[in-house]
């Protein structure tokens, strides 16, 4: 049996009211609600990596994963493997297969189909992670709709929580949203024709193929998981295919939005959170064609331990009070290049501890420390240290507020974190107001952008309050 063995979603903490955007452009045309947006230190890679780490933790560790695919239309690197960087953040073994998928909004479903196709009996899991932070033309309708988000789905053959029943794909050389290599903003060709030709027609085709293969009809489906370019198009599609509104997975529009490549995987993860054994889940993705897959939830779904449910993440929100603050934060790292920070020689030396979060463990006294050391801080011996992976969870030992650290929203809270199992790291506390940071607070480490410079993005670990079940 092959299918889905793990899933996770990453919903940004920050959000901005669509009315604030409308007010900035002096227009009354606002669809209401909020859209979720990454902090100034989040991008498509960090959102996908955070979801991949959450998914990995539910699988039991790095030894359970032998493949990682990353898909996005806004990946930070055009010539460097984003997937390999995420695999290193997850501390996956070097033999792990990595792959970047780009340029299509259906990259999430295409990546999942590819991962499932490559599985053999007894295969370890392949994580397909997606993240997007798309930019629309200022003042456009799409600026209201585009939201940031990340998700990860793990495909495998052991402890399958949703078995693959059928799948189909079809490509179409048609454009309704385009961004060239030199463009910052997406060019939209939104129209009734784009909805009919670029969205409804290709999805209807692959959904019909999948239902035909499985011998099922629309009424047999528990959840129809399908992204949408807006709120109305999804309902039009459902009506055309014979699905009721109750069967549709909510696209979370009022506190979310259109999350690009990540959207079908985000919605699939949310649907899996409430799925019951034998439920049929039909997931589709679109963009220059369409993909569709039909899954049947198994009994394992009742015992799957989700790292951080979407409802818990949704319950936490930090609002941008104005459009000016939102744009200033969005452009913070883009406004200045601080020059080259690190050579590839030094990076290769530091990568195990800076990216993979490795430290030292003493065979004599058991002390763990970070960064990798030559002499044990406990017993002072230098002949018993070995490199080990450190935990990404812990508690705040002490902290301070730094008003001089460069940030769009000072003060910056810096904390000393005691990691579970040993080791101590000094890092920034994010996704929580400074007034709520406490000594003893339970936190988890998350990858974030530290700065830009010299043609590189520099990533490091920051900590955020733990928000599990």
Residue 137: CB partners within 8 Å, gap ≥ 6? 143, 185, 186, 187, 188
Q: Are strands 65-72 and 424-429 parallel, antiparallel or unpaired?
A: unpaired
Q: Are strands 34-36 and 358-362 parallel, antiparallel or unpaired?
A: unpaired
Task: Pick the closest to residue 458 from 77, 50, 134, 184 (CA basis).
Answer: 77
Could you give the dihedral angle defined by the CA atoms of residues 226, 227, 231 and 237, in that order, rounded to the nearest 10 degrees?
-40
Q: Which two tokens stand for residue 408?
A: 């769009």
**Angle, CA 111 vertex, CA 105 and CA 116 arms, to 5°:** 145
Are 23 and 323 in contact by the 8 Å Cβ rule? The answer is yes
Please state which CATH number belongs to domain 3-330.
Answer: 3.40.47.10
- Read off the pLDDT band of 123 (50, 70, 90): confident
Sequence spans of domains, the chain: 3-330, 344-357+392-465
- Read off the pLDDT band of 342 (50, 70, 90): confident
Task: Pick the closest to residue 201 from 181, 183, 176 (CA basis).
Answer: 176
pLDDT at residue 469 is higher than 60: no
Mean pLDDT of 291-299: 98
Query: What is the model's pLDDT at position 467?
Result: 81
Are 232 and 10 in contact by the 8 Å Cβ rule? The answer is no
pLDDT at residue 126 is higher than 90: yes
Mean pLDDT of 43-48: 98
Q: Which class is domain 344-357+392-465?
A: mainly beta
Query: What is the model's pLDDT at position 28?
Result: 79
Residue 358 and residue 352: Cα distance in Å, rounded?
Answer: 6
Are 74 and 56 in contact by the 8 Å Cβ rule? The answer is no
Residue 433 and residue 129: Cα distance in Å, rounded?
Answer: 29
| 151-185 b/e (C-beta count within 10 Å ≥ 16 → b) | bbbbbbbebbbbebbbbbbeeeeeebbebeeeeee
Question: How many Cβ atoms are within 10 Å of 369's Cβ, its own excluded?
Answer: 21
pLDDT one-digit tens code per residue, 164-212: 999 999 999 999 899 999 999 999 999 999 999 999 999 999 999 999 9
Query: What is the model's pLDDT at position 338?
Result: 66
Asked if the peptide bond before residue 371 counts as cis, ω within 30 degrees of 0, the response is: yes
Residue 135: CB partners within 8 Å, gap ≥ 6? 74, 146, 184, 185, 186
Task: Say yes or no: do domains 3-330 and 344-357+392-465 share a fold.
Answer: no
pLDDT at residue 468 is higher than 70: no
pLDDT at residue 308 is higher than 80: yes
Query: What is the model's pLDDT at position 121?
Result: 76
Query: What is the model's pLDDT at position 435?
Result: 95
pLDDT at residue 129 is higher than 60: yes
Please state, rounded to an integer, the average pLDDT across all residues of the chain: 94
pLDDT one-digit tens code per residue, 54-64: 999 999 776 68
Mean pLDDT of 435-461: 94
């Amino acid at each position: 049996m092959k299918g889905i063995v793990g899933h996770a979603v990453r919903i940004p903490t920050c959000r901005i009211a669509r009315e604030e955007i409308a007010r900035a452009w002096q227009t009354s045309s606002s669809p209401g609600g909020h859209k979720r947006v990454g902090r100034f230190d989040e991008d498509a890679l960090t959102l996908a990596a955070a979801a991949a780490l959450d998914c990995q933790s539910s699988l039991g560790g790095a030894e359970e994963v032998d493949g990682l695919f990353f898909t996005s239309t806004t990946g930070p690197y055009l010539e460097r493997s984003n997937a390999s960087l995420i695999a290193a953040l997850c501390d996956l073994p070097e033999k792990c297969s990595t792959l970047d998928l780009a340029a299509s909004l259906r990259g999430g479903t295409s990546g999942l189909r590819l991962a499932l196709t490559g599985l053999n009996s007894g295969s370890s899991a392949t994580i397909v992670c997606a993240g997007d932070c798309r930019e629309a033309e200022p003042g456009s309708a799409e600026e209201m709709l585009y939201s940031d988000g990340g998700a990860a789905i793990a495909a495998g053959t052991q402890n399958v929580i949703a078995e693959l029943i059928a799948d189909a794909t079809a490509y179409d050389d048609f454009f309704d949203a385009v961004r060239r290599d030199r463009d910052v903003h997406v060019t939209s060709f939104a129209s009734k024709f784009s909805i009919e030709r670029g969205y409804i027609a290709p999805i209807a085709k692959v959904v019909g193929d999948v239902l035909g293969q499985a011998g099922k009809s629309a009424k047999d489906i528990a959840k129809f998981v399908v992204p949408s370019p807006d709120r109305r198009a999804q309902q039009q599609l459902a009506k055309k295919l014979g699905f009721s509104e109750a069967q549709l997975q909510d696209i979370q529009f009022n506190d979310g939005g259109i999350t690009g490549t990540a959207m079908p995987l985000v919605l699939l993860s949310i649907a899996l959170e409430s799925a019951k054994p034998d439920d049929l889940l039909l997931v589709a993705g679109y963009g220059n064609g369409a993909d569709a897959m039909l899954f049947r939830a198994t009994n394992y779904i009742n015992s799957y331990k989700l790292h951080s449910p979407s409802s818990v993440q949704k319950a936490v929100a930090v609002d941008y009070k104005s459009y000016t603050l939102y744009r200033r934060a969005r452009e913070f790292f883009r406004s200045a290049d601080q020059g080259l920070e690190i050579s590839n020689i030094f990076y290769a030396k530091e990568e195990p501890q800076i990216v993979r979060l490795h430290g030292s463990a003493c065979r004599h006294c058991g002390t763990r420390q970070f960064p990798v050391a030559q002499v044990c801080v406990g017993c002072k011996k230098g002949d018993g240290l070995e490199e080990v992976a450190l935990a990404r969870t812990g508690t705040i030992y002490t902290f301070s507020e730094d008003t001089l650290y460069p940030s769009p929203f000072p003060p910056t809270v810096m904390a000393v974190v005691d990691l579970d199992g040993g080791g101590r790291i000094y890092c920034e506390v994010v996704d929580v107001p400074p007034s709520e940071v406490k000594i003893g607070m339970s936190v988890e480490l998350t990858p974030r952008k530290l700065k830009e410079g010299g043609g590189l993005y520099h990533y490091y670990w920051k900590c955020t309050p733990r928000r599990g079940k």
